[in-house]
Structure 1
Amino acid sequence: MNADTGDTSRGGHVVVIGGGIAGLAAAHRLAVAGRRVTLLEATTRLGGKLHAGEIAGTRVDLGAESMLARRPEATDLARAVGLGDRLQPPATASASVWTRDALRPMPKGHVMGVPGDAAALTGLLSAEGLARIEHERDLPPADPAALGDDVAVGRYVADRLGREVVDRLVEPLLGGVYAGDAYRISMRAAVPKLFEAARSHGSLTAAVRSLQQEGRRQTGPAFMGIAGGIGTLPGAVADAITARGGEILTDTPVHALIRHAGGDTGRSGGSGARAGGWDVRTGDRVLRADAVIVATPAWSASELLAIESPAAAAELATVEYASMALVTLAFRRAELERVLPAGSGFLVPPVDGRTIKASTFSSQKWKWTDEGSDDLVVLRTSVGRYGEEEYLHREDADLVSVSLTDLAHATGLAAAPVATEVTRWIGGLPQYPVGHLARVARIRDAVAKLPGLRVCGAAYDGVGIPATIASARRAADEILATPTLAHGTQSDERE
């Protein structure tokens, strides 16, 4: 090894492992704070599930395509990297639910599908389902003990309001976010405000109404996109990092993460600030760092931490993931006139037995999709829920075919697409079952015993873009607060 002494005048060297939006956001925060940053990404592409692409000459998102705007982290980052003037709300916010063989308007007056009163779901639920919601007023007041420290969303809502509201609305809405099972997903982790409101109200519908009153005080769109696609955000963040002197290396998998000898290693729970630093080993290079942020999926983080933090590694190994595929379709506009219903698309409850779980009418939802060609209409479907991996092993042509079949049944669409693109996200969405937050706390407690190490990403505090960026900011801020980062003494060794 030939050692090149790193620039230590900027308060230490931080290596960020993982080039998804979490790793990029963490590296950006560190670079803005004046730290020397190296970001390592195992693949040839930055951005993770934020992926800009093209179909038939039209720009599209091949991954996430919108972000919650009522949390500021994502929009703040977009503005910080020069994309503020490209932020756009959806052109339409109306959507439908395809259930019982018809497209039915998405009801208003609910929190993640949980209604404040039965009338909000008229037309979506059967008369029996609506009556079951009304029956809650006859139930004994909910005991906060029934929620305990955590409870599955589906189980609690079904107990109070009946299974039909879960199966027809809560399930598809949660499935759109987590690709998971509402009867497994943690209420405390996935819908924390509803969890807390339910603890203080004897009625679940009363808890929803209290949140609705709070929501009415909020202004502005609930969601936001970026002209050109959400997938343009990673590149803009990367440019901002390198403009501040940061280094970004793609196609650079990390094979080992080793704590330097020297001082208190932290393995027995110590917190000595000058405990030696880290070796980050890639195929042909060893980076020495004062601190490391691991911003990879849980299974990868588990492997990287196996030597230095077996307790964290064991917890991370238990995080389950769901896989999904996105099928993007381009049609001639003339062939879709008077075919697609108004709105941004529709969700599909699993109970209806369809293959697709949702469809987005991209050209109707985002004005910028017309920039490539105003002769085309782009829409996409999503396939795959937790436990339904078999769909993802089908050929691309089969996924296109089943998508077209379901679209035909839902909307009457009969045209053949002029172009198609199938994007698979294997292990793309971490699952948040009951007890998830307790597991995250155990992971963070174990990691915190090693000075100069933090973790972040979608596996911890939320799978949405703002929540993931918030996780990254937390990790970066905790690293910045450690005394180690005031004394950059590590060198960068290359073979």
Structure 2
Amino acid sequence: MEPTRRHVVVVGGGIAGLAAAWHLRHEDGDMAVTVLDGASRIGGKLHTSQVAGIPVDEGAEAMLARRPEGKELARMAGVGGELADPAAVGASILSRGALRPMPKGQVMGVPSDITGLVRSGVLSPGGLARVPLDQILPATLITSDVSVAAYIRARMGGEVLDRLVEPILGGVYAGRAEMLSLDATMPAVATAARTERSLLQAARAIAAKAPKDAGPVFTTLRGGMGGLPEAVAAASGAEVRTGVMVRELSRTREGWRLVTGPARAPETIDADAVILAVPAPAAGRLLSGEVPKAAAELARVEYASMAIVTLAYPRAAFPEQPSGSGYLVPPVEGRAVKAVTFSTVKWPHLAEADPGVLVLRCSIGRLGEEAVLQRDDGELVALAMAEMAEVMGVRGLPLDSRVTRWGGALPQYEVGHLDRVARVRAAVAVQPGLAVCGAAYDGVGIPACVASARTAAAAILAHLRERHGGEWREDQPAAGGR
């Protein structure tokens, strides 16, 4: 008698859900995997479209190159040959009214080199004088998770926090250092906080351990990171269904049942196992009936909204061509734009498409700044244009523009985040054939999402092996190019 074919449903067609589907099918080519997503396309926040005829990402434009999971997934999906490195140019900070170079040797904004900090000009004389006091102040005892702001301010003062750490964290999470967890967002610094008296000395040690020949920090795909989801979906061999909203999740005698579609015409889907790869609020709603403890924890995860305004200018519109990849803007500067990336400077392959065009992306919106995002697209474009005119001296109108809004896009890793994630996973783990993954748990970047997907897939595979031990064949053919 032929063994029953196992069926796993992945809810969420972002990169985490698609990576989970790939790993499931890679380990068991006979497994039926269905990916359900309520949107009209897969990929979540990874999407690429053209601006002035040049393909430019609307969401994440790159992934960490020094963490392997993202590059490995690209290679396994058959697009490893499309990986492209950025130009060897530095970034700046708009501080005290001028663009200033990012201090060398900083660790998530924490300086490790006083000389480099002085040369950068980011801090005022008073702010600079406060930094070395870190070496003689009594230890700041950290016995549990604290906010980034509380620890950095105690050790190095307000200017390091406001003008270095805050803009870097804002670029990653669109959040506020007063609320963000030191343990979750700056783990190396958090470890040092528990073992070292001086943060400056700890930052030096962290910077010294960084490999000198590891290559670029970031990488992307030549056609845009938006091409990765489609490649992973195709390589997985999973059934992918878009426009399918999952409304309910409940246990059955044999596994799980999902209810999709409108209330007037519901559709049920039965599965041996389920992976939830959706944002925390959506996961919490689906878990509310069967795993209320996890649902309650997930409901407390806040999300920040943002918008990305992409502008394409003739290069001649810039009196001086940008020499760096872009700049960050500290909140204390009081500007709507929080970061600018000169895309065709940072990524040489984009400049090859049209050497006469300079494409840039302006990021607008942090947690608590929803009011600015309520402006219409034309007003947001005007804000970005005004930023370029004031800071870069740009003259004239752009050739093309695009506004991409990401509502509730970035989970906030607030104080206690790691404990919250542990409680969620502990509650989910007691439910056979259920797992969670995505940006709400272990990191918002692509490699971190892929890693969480692999962890979720491994848990499901272990459950199915145990449940169907007599039916599992270790030598069965695998999908995904194995």
The two structures share one fold, judged by TM-score above 0.5? yes
Amino acid at match of 2:249: L
Matched, 1:109 2:91: no
Match of 1:265 in 2: none
Match of 1:63 in 2: 59
Contact 2:143–2:194 under 8 Å retained in 1:
no
Shift of 1:247: 0.6
Shift of 1:373: 2.8
Shift of 1:221: 1.3
Q: Distance in 2 between matches of 1:476 and 1:129?
A: 48
Matched, 1:417 2:420: no
User: Under a length normalisation based on structure 2, what TM-score does the superposition of the two structures give?
Assistant: 0.93
Q: Distance in 1 between matches of 2:73 and 2:187?
A: 24
Report matched runs for 1:143-182 at 5 Å. 143=140, 146-182=141-177
Q: Distance in 1 between matches of 2:211 and 2:106?
A: 12
Q: Secondary structure at the match of 1:202?
A: coil
Deviations 1:18-47 (CA, angstroms, capped at 9, x unpaired): 001110110110011113211001111111
Q: Secondary structure at the match of 1:14?
A: strand
* Count of matched residue pairs: 461
Q: Secondary structure at the match of 1:114?
A: coil
Contact 1:197–1:210 under 8 Å retained in 2:
no
Matched, 1:430 2:411: yes
Match of 1:227 in 2: 222
Q: Distance in 2 between matches of 1:65 and 1:53?
A: 12
Deviations 1:170-211 (CA, angstroms, capped at 9, x unpaired): 000000000000121111001111211222211111111111
RMSD across aligned positions (CA): 1.6
Match of 2:477 in 1: none
Match of 1:14 in 2: 8
Shift of 1:487: 7.2
Contact 2:104–2:113 under 8 Å retained in 1:
no
Matched, 1:186 2:164: no
Shift of 1:218: 5.5
Shift of 1:240: 0.6
Match of 2:454 in 1: 473
Q: Distance in 2 between matches of 1:8 and 1:67?
A: 40
Q: Secondary structure at the match of 1:409?
A: helix
Q: Distance in 1 between matches of 2:116 and 2:127?
A: 12
Contact 2:339–2:362 under 8 Å retained in 1:
yes
Deviations 1:269-297 (CA, angstroms, capped at 9, x unpaired): xxxxxxx2001111243221110000000
Shift of 1:148: 1.7
Q: Distance in 1 between matches of 2:193 and 2:11?
A: 39
Match of 2:366 in 1: 385
Match of 1:277 in 2: 255
Report matched runs for 1:64-463 at 5 Å. 64-122=60-118, 123-140=121-138, 142-143=139-140, 146-217=141-212, 219-242=214-237, 246-260=238-252, 262=253, 276-283=254-261, 284-336=266-318, 338-463=319-444
Q: Distance in 2 between matches of 1:465 and 1:289?
A: 27
Query: CA 1:488/1:58 → structure 2, altered by over 3 Å: closer, same or farther?
Result: farther
List alignment gaps of at least 5 residues for structure 1: 1-6, 263-275, 490-495
Q: Distance in 2 between matches of 1:169 and 1:453?
A: 41
Contact 1:41–1:250 under 8 Å retained in 2:
yes
Shift of 1:91: 1.3
Shift of 1:342: 0.3
Shift of 1:395: 0.5
Q: Distance in 1 between matches of 2:15 and 2:182?
A: 25
Contact 2:276–2:436 under 8 Å retained in 1:
yes
Contact 1:301–1:313 under 8 Å retained in 2:
yes
Deviations 1:75-101 (CA, angstroms, capped at 9, x unpaired): 110111111111111113401111111
Shift of 1:335: 2.7
Amino acid at match of 2:285: E
Match of 1:26 in 2: 20
Deviations 1:355-412 (CA, angstroms, capped at 9, x unpaired): 1000000010112213543332111100000111111110000001111112211111
Q: Distance in 1 between matches of 2:112 and 2:429?
A: 41
Q: Secondary structure at the match of 1:216?
A: coil
Question: Percent identity at matched positions?
Answer: 52
Amino acid at match of 1:132: R
Q: Which moved more, 1:424-433 or 1:45-54?
A: 45-54
Amino acid at match of 1:125: L
Query: CA 1:226/1:125 → structure 2, altered by over 3 Å: closer, same or farther?
Result: same
Match of 1:267 in 2: none
Amino acid at match of 1:233: L
